[in-house]
Amino acid sequence: MDWGGPTFVVLLVAISTAGWLINNWIRARHGYSLENEWGGMTDPTDSGETKRLKAENAELKSQIDSMQDRMVNLERIVTDKGYRLSDEIEALRDRPARNTASHTGTDSGVPLDLNKKEQA
């Protein structure tokens, strides 16, 4: 092969051009900005699919945010002194019941006999 002849130069230009085309094809396929002929970068245009994916991504992010808020509330409920409700119920049992109709302070509830066995 003649290293100084026009065949070598044409082959070198063809290989360089093919490499540039393959590089830009790969970059375009993966959504990166492309090189233009002056060495600058050209941003890819947003296609309909890209806009749809961005909208779907934003919707999913908002769902994750709302689910995270729910999870924070559930964690607070679970870890916030789990027996607090039982303490409050016991405190209500210890307090004398009030007659709401007459406000006399007497017990108006029906007494429960918890020790009595149910008859069949």
Residue 67 resides in a domain: yes
Assigned domain for 86 exists: yes
Host domain of residue 75: 21-94
Is residue 60, in this structure, part of any structural domain at all? Answer: yes
Alpha-carbon distance of 97 to 101, in angstroms, equals 12
Contact 13, 7 (CB under 8 A): no
At residue 61, the pLDDT reads 95
The span from the CA of 107 to the CA of 38, in Å, is: 93
Q: What is the number of structural domains in the chain?
A: 1
Q: What is the pLDDT of residue 18?
A: 95
Among 39, 1, 5, which residue's Cα sits nearest to residue 20? 39
CA gap 113, 26 in Å, rounded: 81
Q: Considering the domain boundaries, does residue 28 fall inside one?
A: yes
Q: Is residue 5 part of a domain?
A: no
Instruction: Please say whether the beta carbons of 27 and 19 come within 8 A.
Output: no
pTM of the shown model: 0.33
Asked if residue 79 belongs to a domain, the reply is yes
Q: What is the pLDDT along the chain (120 residues), one digit of tens a residue?
A: 667 778 888 999 999 999 988 988 888 888 777 766 666 666 666 677 788 888 999 999 999 999 999 998 888 777 766 567 777 777 778 776 665 555 555 555 666 666 666 554
Whether 35 maps to a domain, the answer reads: yes
Does 25 fall in a domain?
A: yes
